[in-house]
Amino acid sequence: MARRSPHRLVGVLAAVTVAFTLFSPSSPAGAAETSAPARAAAVRPLSTSTPVVFVHGYTGSASNWTTAMSVFRLNGWSSANLFAYEYDSYGNNITNAQGLAAFVDGVKSRTGASKVAIVNHSMGGLVSQYYLKVLGGNTSVSHLASIAGANHGTTAAGACLIYTTCQQMYPGSSFIAQITSGDETPGDTKYATWYSACDGVILPYTSTRLSGATNNNVLCQTHIGYLADTVVLGQVARFIAS
């Protein structure tokens, strides 16, 4: 990975400072000069009762979400409401989506929640989209956050076409056609994506975007770098708390 410039590091540090300021329960400097309603809004805690299910990408695992879970805990989530779904990267994404459906049902039963939020990365986008759109999972999902999701496929999958999952992830596959035809963001679920021209794995990088979603163009972040990007992960937490 290329060394970040001093200006880039300053920008990241500034963004992190802003993020922690936004999430701080204490009143900001000068709050005494604002109106009472403004002060109340500034200190209102995030809505963090929704269980979150994290879905990793190709060859990933639950360990990919260590930083993300830390960020969510810092922003008010209980560890008891944070879950990571693991699946077979070399199998079939239809089977993986069916497994996600069962996993979500288990989380709902365990927590008593009527809906969960899903945060996915890379090929996890395909698993999640199939679950929400084809299997009707949108009725059980309040928010869907796709971080560098391969939602419209990636030509990088051409390097592993011996596996069904990679065949499904290649642009133009029947699997991609099924999850992108018609409404890409079905139901009452809130959808958001994060994508970057510096991704390097999702090709083209705009593949992550979903019609009908809030699509966030990140200035420059690598595909794996997102998993440790506390600024983006903080944005994801705020989105799910909205």
3-state SS of 134-176 is HCCHHHHEEEEEEECCCCCCCHHHHHHCCCHHHHHHCCCCHHH
Q: Is 122 a catalytic residue?
A: yes
Which residue out of 128, 199, 207, 229 is catalytically annotated?
199
Q: What is the dihedral of CA 163, 167, 168, 172, to 10 degrees?
A: 180
Q: Which of 165, 152, 177 is nearest to 93 (CA)?
A: 165
Q: Tokens in use for 211?
A: 């019609």
Annotated active-site residue 7? The verdict is no
- The catalytically annotated residue of 56, 89, 121, 122 is 122
CA 242 from centroid of its chain's CA atoms: 14
Contacts of 128-131 with C-beta under 8 Å, sequence gap 24+, read 128/55, 128/97, 128/100, 129/179, 129/184, 130/93, 130/94, 130/97, 130/175, 130/178, 130/179, 131/97, 131/98, 131/100, 131/101, 131/104
- DSSP-H helix ranges across the chain: 6-23, 36-43, 66-74, 93-111, 124-129, 164-169, 174-180, 230-240
Tell me if residue 223 is catalytic.
Answer: yes
Catalytic residue among 142, 196, 223, 229: 223
| 86, amino acid identity | E
Task: Catalogue the active-site residues.
Answer: 122, 199, 223
